């Protein structure tokens, strides 16, 4: 039986089903309908329109959204939420003056998380991760991409990917899995890095493909991590198993990761804190979505991705949380939207587009998610009473999400 939402103060992000992403000046527009209704049936958006055009219909529930906005749930296209424990100690080390790179160089960072995860059982890892997922769904996230990458051994990488699969089986939201075995070199491979790349290619990838545990391939392409040549080797091998690249590039240095991503039709290139004009040029005429991670910049105190330069050059932009224990221990998309506006000078319309339709594109789900479109999933949020949608980024730190619907069901 259908559910009807009535008296919606403003229904946001109404799009044609054929639209998969918005770019450049298009991002400044957020199509809306004031004083609207929305009809949910069979988990999907069945219809919507102006209240004055509402017709007689049999429903089993009517929700009055007087004074409230309705919008599609956020898509979080870049997270690492399957991790063990935390890195609060390193947080304090950074407060006391060490840099992220200095901490990593002395065995902290990703290797610290990998050690913890290797010692954590699959059940316990599932429980810790499920708690994080529960939290972000309540904050309005209706689809999430999750990466491996805190295992760094065949066994531990498979453990993470199996946990991701279990989360996907047990939770109603859409979950996409990414294999990020190339997140850091384990210290035992310090003097023979090629061997770790070979382990990824010859052992991990075939097992992951055999169990169908990932749809995307990711590599941390960065000085001190994986070079462009190593990244290329891994991407090429992963493509033979049908994995689509979505890669970490340009977090601290511009070393050619964007050129590589575009060359191999990466679905997205993520981070982008350090961008050259050539990087921006390369992204033009590509199908690759640039993805910025504002709360990572906030937490680490590193530069923000130059959103204005990216959007003003005509490119699309998506935003995501990067939820992980080291650089972003938060999965709050509402904070990401505020930070995108406050620190990256994106308008509320641009930020909402970046976190819905463009974010859906960055995880290959824009045919079902990311907009108010008839036939798309009824993954929706009702806000609290707010004067305008600009209040979502403006009132940073407040939780303005009242109700979340996944597949038409209230969470």
Which residue among 322, 326, 377, 393 contacts Fe ion (CB under 5 A)? 322
Query: How far is the C-alpha of 160 from the C-alpha of 156, rounded, in Å?
Result: 6
In the complex, the smallest distance separating the C-beta of residue 327 from ligand NIG, rounded to whole angstroms, is 3
Query: How far is the C-alpha of 324 from the C-alpha of 3, rounded, in Å?
Result: 36
**Contacting residues for 120 by C-beta, under 8 A, at least 6 apart:** 84, 85, 128
Tokens read off for 367 = 């045919």
Contact stretch for ligand NIG (CB under 6 A) within 106-114, 229-237, 389-397, 398-406: 106-114
Residue in the shown chain whose Cβ atom is closest to ligand NIG: 326
In the complex, the smallest distance separating the C-beta of residue 240 from ligand NIG, rounded to whole angstroms, is 25
- Whether 80 has a binding-site annotation, put simply, is yes
Pick from ligand NIG, Fe ion, none: which does 296 bind, CB < 5 to 8 A by kind? Answer: ligand NIG
Q: Length of the chain, please?
A: 411
Pick from Fe ion, ligand NIG, none: which does 142 bind, CB < 5 to 8 A by kind? Answer: none
Site for ligand NIG in 205-234 (CB under 6 A): 220
Site string for Fe ion, 270-309 (x = CB under 5 A): ----------------------------------------
> Which has the closest alpha carbon to 333: 386, 295, 289, 389?
295
- Whether 183 has a binding-site annotation, put simply, is yes
Residue 77 in the binding site for ligand NIG (CB under 6 A): no
Residue 272 in the binding site for ligand NIG (CB under 6 A): no
295 close to 330: Cβ distance less than 8 angstroms: yes
Phi, psi of 209 (to 5 degrees): -65, -40
H or E segment at 130? helix 122-138
Nearer to ligand NIG, 3 or 324 (CB): 324
**Contacting residues for 78 by C-beta, under 8 A, at least 6 apart:** 145, 147, 246, 268, 270, 291, 293, 320, 321, 322, 362
- Token pair 């407040």: residue: 398
In the complex, the smallest distance separating the C-beta of residue 12 from ligand NIG, rounded to whole angstroms, is 29
Q: What is the dihedral of CA 282, 287, 289, 290, to 10 degrees?
A: 0
Site for ligand NIG in 304-323 (CB under 6 A): 322
Nearer to ligand NIG, 159 or 248 (CB): 248
Q: Annotated binding site for Zn(2+), which residues?
A: 78, 80, 248, 322
Kindly list the residues in this chain that would bind ligand NIG in the complex (CB under 6 A): 109-110, 113, 220, 248, 251, 296, 322, 324-327
Q: What does the binding site for Fe ion look like in residue numbers (CB under 5 A)?
A: 322
């Amino acid at each position: 039986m259908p559910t009807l939402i009535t008296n919606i103060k403003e229904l946001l992000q109404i799009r044609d089903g054929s639209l998969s992403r918005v770019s450049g000046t298009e991002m400044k527009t957020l199509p809306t309908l004031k004083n609207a209704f929305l009809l949910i049936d069979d988990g999907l958006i069945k219809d919507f329109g102006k209240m004055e055009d509402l017709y007689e219909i049999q429903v089993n529930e009517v929700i009055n959204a007087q004074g409230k906005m309705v919008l599609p749930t956020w898509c979080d296209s870049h997270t690492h939420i399957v991790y063990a424990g935390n890195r609060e100690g390193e947080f304090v080390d950074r407060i006391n003056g060490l840099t992220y790179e200095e901490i990593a160089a002395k065995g902290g960072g990703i290797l610290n998380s990998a050690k913890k995860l290797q010692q954590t059982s699959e059940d316990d890892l599932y429980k810790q991760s499920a708690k994080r997922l529960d939290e972000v769904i309540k904050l309005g996230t209706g689809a999430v991409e999750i990466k491996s990458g805190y295992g760094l051994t065949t066994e531990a990488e498979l453990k993470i990917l199996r946990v991701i699969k279990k989360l996907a089986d047990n939770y109603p939201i859409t979950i996409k899995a990414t294999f990020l075995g190339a997140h850091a070199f384990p210290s035992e491979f310090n003097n023979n890095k090629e061997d770790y790349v070979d382990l990824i290619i010859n052992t991990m990838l075939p097992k992951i493909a055999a169990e169908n545990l990932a749809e995307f391939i990711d590599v941390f392409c960065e000085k001190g991590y994986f070079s462009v040549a190593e990244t290329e080797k891994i991407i090429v091998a992963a493509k033979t198993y049908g994995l689509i690249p979505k890669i970490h590039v340009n977090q601290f240095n511009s070393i050619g990761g964007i050129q590589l991503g575009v060359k191999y039709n990466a679905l997205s290139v993520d981070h982008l804190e350090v961008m050259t004009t050539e990087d921006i040029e390369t992204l033009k005429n590509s199908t690759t979505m640039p993805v910025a991670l504002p709360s990572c910049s906030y937490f680490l105190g590193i530069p923000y991705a130059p959103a204005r330069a990216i959007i003003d050059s005509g490119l699309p932009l998506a935003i995501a949380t990067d939820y992980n224990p080291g650089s972003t221990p938060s999965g709050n998309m509402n904070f990401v939207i505020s930070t995108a506006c406050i620190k990256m000078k994106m308008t509320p319309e641009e930020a909402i587009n970046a976190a819905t339709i463009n974010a859906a594109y960055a995880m290959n789900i824009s045919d079902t998610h990311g907009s108010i479109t008839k036939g798309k999933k009824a993954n929706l949020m009702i806000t609290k009473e707010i004067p305008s949608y600009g209040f979502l980024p403006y009132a940073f730190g407040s939780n303005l999400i009242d109700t979340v619907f996944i597949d038409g069901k209230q969470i």
